[in-house]
Amino acid sequence: MEKTVSEAIKYRRSIRIFKEINLDTEKVRKCIINASLAPNSSNLQLWEFIHISDKNLIKKLSPACMNQNAAKTANQLVVFVTRKDLWKSRAKSNIDFLNNSFKENPKGNTEKRKKSVLFYYSKLVPTIYTSFFGVLGYIRYFIFQIIGLFRPIYRQAKLSDNRIVAHKSIALAAQNFMISMAAINYDTCPMEGTDTLRIKKILNLPSKSEINMVIGCGIRDEKGLYNKQFRVPFEKVYSHY
């Protein structure tokens, strides 16, 4: 029986040793589909999910994951990759989708709303993401700071800001994935301590792509649950106004 969301959240732990039990690849794939449904900046979906069940490839990737037990004993791996370089094609996909939506339901969309969303993807997104060795980002940043003296404005305009946005979005997807796995009693361990350059070479990923994290997947061995879960007191991290 599949767990509720709250049950899955409480069940999920970072498991560092997995049993030698095979996972159902299709079930893992469905959890990755859930990952792809995560909220993300401007719905640009600047991500890719590399699902690895080939044992030889897992063995090859393990040294690049610093030979962590979560990689060495994993039955499957999922590599979460940001693809900020795909912003043009993803913006176009949104434009095509919106144009089709407007044609299918013309009464439900005002001309003002149509112009607004199409302007966003055809003009505003290119303004934010177009870069010339990062120089345009700094020009945008200073212009936006000046405008911000007079009214609220989006200030994350530099190339580094765009990278952060892409990584925040795919981190939300990774959480979707891990909770979905926990719901079906599959375990995971997110790994950030990796040689991302070696992983990209092994997987033949484009140079402009970036590894956000590698997630080991399997069935928990109790030895792989190293400690009881610790969280600082909730009152220290919670504010209510």
| CATH number of the domain where residue 195 is located | 3.40.109.10
Q: Are 64 and 23 within one domain?
A: yes
pLDDT of the residue at 32: 98
Q: Are 57 and 109 within one domain?
A: no
Q: Is residue 167 part of a domain?
A: no
Q: Measure Cα distances from 133 to 46, 90, 123, 149, 161 in Å.
A: 19, 21, 20, 27, 14
Q: Is residue 118 part of a domain?
A: yes
Q: Are 198 and 219 within one domain?
A: yes
206 pLDDT exceeds 90?
yes
Rounded to an integer, the average pLDDT of 17-27 is 98
Q: Are 19 and 71 within one domain?
A: yes
Q: Are 196 and 220 within one domain?
A: yes
Q: List CB contacts of 206: < 8 A, sequence separation 6 or more.
A: 83, 85, 200
On average, the pLDDT of the chain sits at 93
What are 170-199's pLDDT values in tens digits? 999 999 999 999 999 999 999 999 999 999
Task: Region of 133 please: left (phi>0), alpha (psi -120 to 50) or beta.
Answer: left
Please say which residue of 112, 138, 160 terminates a domain. 160
Q: Is residue 168 part of a domain?
A: no
Q: Are 53 and 77 within one domain?
A: yes
pLDDT of the residue at 107: 66
pLDDT of the residue at 109: 62
- Distance (Å, rounded) from C-alpha 225 to C-alpha 202? 29
Between 92 and 154, the more confident residue is: 92
Q: Are 122 and 193 within one domain?
A: no
102 pLDDT exceeds 90?
no
Q: Are 62 and 106 within one domain?
A: no
Between 101 and 10, the more confident residue is: 10
Answer whether 74's CB lies under 8 Å from 221's CB.
no
What are 129-147's pLDDT values in tens digits? 987 776 777 888 788 888 8
Q: Which amino acid is at 105?
A: N
Please say which residue of 129, 160, 191 terminates a domain. 160
Give residue 104's domain range. Answer: 87-160
Q: Are 18 and 68 within one domain?
A: yes
Q: What percent of the chain has pLDDT over 90?
A: 78
